[in-house]
């Protein structure tokens, strides 16, 4: 059996904070979901998704099944320390052992959060809609940790070279922060190449979060490692996970 392929975040989180990002290999799903698809909503065989999730849990030694949420490109944040079942949401936080925050992505940016003292962690699903609407700010508020005491990691997302958007997307960000204009480059088709990583850094810095790691991958450009909805349309999902031990 192939090992589940993973990225372990390189960031200065305390030892009790554990985190990982799954790549697309090491699972059992058939094309076009090959092979480590974690998404139960994309048309993959349910038994394949169940086995892929089981392999991830086993390899990472997770303390519990991750809290797989219904993600809706919004700004709601679930506190996993409250009673399940959880409402649809695009971020999750916990301060307890035995809870695993997880976000499913395939071009949208996953953002992981950890308190410097290891007292709380969280994860957010930040596509352009959620990012523009304030999902990162909402996650920081829910964590209840001073922004200067937070560490963040920007996981794999679609890179600027491959993320073309229209005037409406650019306007949504500039309306909130004129500095966001620098994250958009005009192309020859009268549209814009959007840098999600830069936009996330601007939004985090604006609320006082300065410890920002990651943000150097492109899911579209590397088909061997990453699923990409913009590239492939029908495809699997990867998982960004964080928990305390």
Q: What pLDDT sits at residue 2? A: 65
199-202: Cβ within 8 A, 24+ apart = 199/128, 199/131, 199/173, 200/109, 200/111, 200/126, 200/131, 200/136, 200/154, 201/154, 202/177
Contact of 88 with 74, CB cutoff 8 Å: yes
In angstroms, rounded to a whole number, what is the distance separating the alpha carbons of residues 243 and 26? 22
User: CA–CA separation, 36 vs 56, rounded Å?
Assistant: 9
Alpha-carbon distances, residue 75 vs 31, 158, 190, 200 (angstroms): 32, 20, 30, 14
Domain ranges of the chain: 6-244
- CATH code linked to domain 6-244: 3.60.140.10
- 38 contacts 239 by C-beta, under 8 angstroms: yes
Q: Which residue has the tokens 């996650």?
A: 139
Contact by Cβ (8 Å): 197, 109: yes
Rg of the chain over Cα atoms, rounded to whole angstroms, equals 17
The pLDDT value recorded for residue 9 is 97
CA angle 225, 231, 232 (to 5 degrees): 85
Residue 39 near residue 108, CB atoms below 8 Å: no
The alpha carbon torsion through 15, 123, 6, 71 (nearest 10 deg) reads: 160
pLDDT of residue 83: 77
- Contacts (Cβ under 8 Å, ≥6 apart) of 119: 95, 145
* Predicted TM-score of the model (pTM): 0.97
Per-residue pLDDT in tens (0 to 9) along the chain, 245 residues? 568 999 999 999 999 999 999 999 999 999 999 999 999 999 999 999 999 999 999 999 999 999 999 999 999 999 999 978 899 999 999 999 999 999 999 999 999 999 999 999 999 999 999 999 999 999 999 999 999 999 999 999 999 999 999 999 999 999 999 999 999 999 999 999 999 999 999 999 999 999 999 999 999 999 999 999 999 999 999 999 999 99
pLDDT for the residue numbered 1:
58
**Helices 135-143, 196-206: crossing angle, 10 deg rounding:** 40
- Alpha helices (H) along 66-220: 128-133, 135-143, 167-174, 196-206
């Amino acid at each position: 059996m192939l090992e589940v392929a993973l990225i372990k975040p390189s960031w200065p989180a305390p030892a009790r904070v554990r985190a990982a990002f799954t790549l697309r290999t090491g699972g059992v799903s058939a094309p076009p979901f090959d092979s480590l698809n974690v998404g139960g909503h994309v048309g993959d065989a349910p038994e394949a998704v169940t086995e892929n999730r089981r392999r991830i849990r086993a390899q990472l030694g997770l303390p519990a099944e991750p809290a797989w949420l219904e993600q809706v490109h919004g700004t709601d944040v679930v506190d996993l320390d409250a009673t399940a079942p959880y409402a649809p949401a695009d971020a999750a936080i916990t301060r307890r052992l035995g809870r695993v925050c997880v976000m499913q992505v395939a071009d949208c940016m996953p953002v992981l959060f950890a308190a410097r003292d290891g007292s709380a962690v969280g994860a957010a699903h930040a596509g352009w809609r959620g990012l523009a609407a304030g999902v990162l700010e909402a996650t920081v508020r829910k964590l209840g940790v001073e922004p200067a005491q937070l560490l963040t990691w920007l996981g794999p997302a679609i890179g600027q070279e491959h993320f073309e958007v229209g005037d409406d997307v650019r306007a949504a960000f500039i309306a909130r922060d004129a500095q966001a204009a620098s994250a958009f480059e005009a192309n020859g088709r009268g549209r814009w190449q959007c840098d999600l990583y830069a936009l996330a850094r601007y939004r985090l810095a604006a609320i006082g979060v300065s410890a920002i790691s990651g943000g150097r991958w492109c899911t579209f450009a590397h088909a061997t490692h990453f699923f990409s909805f913009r590239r492939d349309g029908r495809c699997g999902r990867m998982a960004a996970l964080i928990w305390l031990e």
